Amino acid sequence: MEKILFIAHTQADGTLPNAAREALSAALELSGKIAGSTLTVGLFGKDVKPAADAIAACGAASFIGVSGEQFAESRYATDAAAITALARQAGATIVVAPTTSRISRAVAGAAQRLGGRIDTHISGLDVADGAPRLQRWYYRQRMVATQSRSQRPWFLVVDVGVFPAWSGVAGSAPLQSLAVDQDTCTSRTKVIGIQSPSSDTQTIRPEAEVLLVAGAGWTKKQADGQLHIKDAEGIILDFLQKNKASLGSSKSLVDQSSEGESVLPFMSHLNQVGQTGSTPRHPKGLATCCHGEEPHAVGWRFINERRAINLDAGCGWAQGKADVLYVADAFQVMKKVNELLG
């Protein structure tokens, strides 16, 4: 009989990250498909009771938690110890976890301590002949594999954007607190503070509803024979700010800085989408001034609804890569969109 444990950590405000609610849906779906399985929720963080209460109605058989000041911050030693203790307590044969940087940093250590196995970047879960199977992509999303393992415990780290985030009414979860053996928590790492970019400079937002992709066209000479880089900068930032969208880029645009051309200062290689960039997951994507060539468009595999604005009716997006192509000047269209967004 499989004993499934869903693990997650709380955020600074005590809530669960969206990725955790998605992984909870994955764990519930898996548990529903495996006859006789049980599902336990295991949380760690400074104070996990509010987060446990928020998902009290999810249908898990039990709730266990590791809490305390030392589990407030992301740190390998304490997080690995907490995950190990939760999995031991639950007698877990399968552990389902979200892909957050905090989980990703520590969960492999817990799998190792428990003599288990771990698979990451899971994009689907299923059951065949009573046994769980995972789906994940290889070779930059070109090949998809279905895998199973007999080794237990089996840690399954689920990618974001694959499962719907669990939502339901809050309640009072029967949370059982777990003490962690302090000998397993020893660490020389002290968290003295967190530095993060301000929300204005933070342009990559994995949980955003919309991905705005900017292409090299924004920095090219326009119909009047002039460059309009400052305009482009203002329009793009205005859209991001109003829509809380995430910003992607084509390779040509981010390469321009290293080639000494005019650039958008907030754009870096981290924004690049495509074969040699990222493959983000957002419900909607809007490509602007980007040609939609295959090495770029391959990074849109997980964008559900795709639209593009390009002056060229024969651009790549017109070749079946976008649901809607607006053949228009992106400067004009996006200015109007920003106006409408108010």
Nearer to ligand FAD, 52 or 213 (CB): 213
Give residues 8-67 in contact with ligand FAD (rule: CB under 6 A): none
Give residues 243-272 in contact with ligand FAD (rule: CB under 6 A): 250-253, 272
Alpha-carbon Rg for the chain, nearest whole angstrom, is 23
**Edge-to-edge strand order for the sheet containing 62-67?**
143-147, 131-138, 117-128, 154-158, 94-98, 3-9, 38-45, 62-67, 175-177
Residue 174 CB, shortest distance to ligand FAD, in Å, is 49
- Of 76-84, 159-167, 168-176, 273-281, the segment contacting ligand FAD by CB under 6 A is 273-281
Contact status, residue 127 vs residue 34, Cβ threshold 8 Å: yes
Structure tokens at 29: 């779906």
Give residues 323-342 in contact with ligand FAD (rule: CB under 6 A): 329-331
H runs (alpha helix) in 154-271: 229-243, 251-255
Residue 53 CB, shortest distance to ligand FAD, in Å, is 43
What number of helices (H) and strands (E) belong to the chain? Answer: 8, 14
Q: What crossing angle do the helices spanning 330-341 and 229-243 adopt, rounded to 10°?
A: 40
Residue 69 CB, shortest distance to ligand FAD, in Å, is 43
Whole-number Å distance between alpha carbons of 155 and 110: 9
Give residues 123-182 in contact with ligand FAD (rule: CB under 6 A): none
Nearer to ligand FAD, 23 or 232 (CB): 232
The answer to whether residue 83 forms part of the interface with ligand FAD (CB under 6 A) is: no
Residue 268 CB, shortest distance to ligand FAD, in Å, is 14
Residue 264 CB, shortest distance to ligand FAD, in Å, is 12
Residue 212 CB, shortest distance to ligand FAD, in Å, is 13
Whole-number Å distance between alpha carbons of 243 and 230: 20
From residue 207 to residue 236, the character string flagging contacts with ligand FAD as x (rule: CB under 6 A) and all else as - is: --------xxx--x-x--------------
Pairing of the two strands 305-310 and 284-288:
parallel
Contact status, residue 296 vs residue 251, Cβ threshold 8 Å: yes
Among 142, 295, 301, 336, binds ligand FAD (CB under 6 A): 295
- Angular region, 3: left φ>0, alpha ψ -120 to 50, beta rest: beta
Closest CA to 308 of 321, 298, 294: 321
Among 181, 200, 305, 312, binds ligand FAD (CB under 6 A): 312
Residue 337 CB, shortest distance to ligand FAD, in Å, is 13
The answer to whether residue 276 forms part of the interface with ligand FAD (CB under 6 A) is: yes
Contact status, residue 285 vs residue 250, Cβ threshold 8 Å: no
Considering CB under 6 A, how many residues would be counted as binding ligand FAD? Answer: 30
The answer to whether residue 286 forms part of the interface with ligand FAD (CB under 6 A) is: no
Question: Which residues here bind ligand FAD, judged by CB under 6 A?
Answer: 215-217, 220, 222, 250-253, 272-277, 289-291, 293, 295-296, 299, 309-312, 315, 329-331
